[in-house]
Structure 1
């Protein structure tokens, strides 16, 4: 359960973010975003370990929303 809570915390704040092409390459912002995401993952794990209540948003809903957003997104931003 704590793993799912940590995943939900870590993923929910990335919904709708695109890898905006810089000079035609999506790698530049994604590399920096992934570095920041690694720090967020550690913090999400710490928060999940300390959480005493159920999350308001479940991991399944976050994954479903992320999937639907990805399908709707223009291919050049994926």
Structure 2
């Protein structure tokens, strides 16, 4: 990721990495990442998207996942 951690390009890069839609604002991408791939996110990725999550329930759920699960092979970049 770049020096400017919360740039839109970094959010798009994360969306591509986890196989979700890259369309929308940083907030929309963060919401999709949290809801669909929250258990796979690393700590730095969680810290990056956390300020953009609107619902406290989403934040709580994201923070509850202490250990990172392995990403399915179908989503790994080649």
TM-score range, shorter chain: under 0.3
Bigger relative contact order, structure 1 or 2 (CA pairs below 8 A, ≥6 apart): 1
Structure 1 length-normalised TM: 0.24
Name the structure with the higher helix share.
1
TM-score (norm: length of structure 2):
0.24
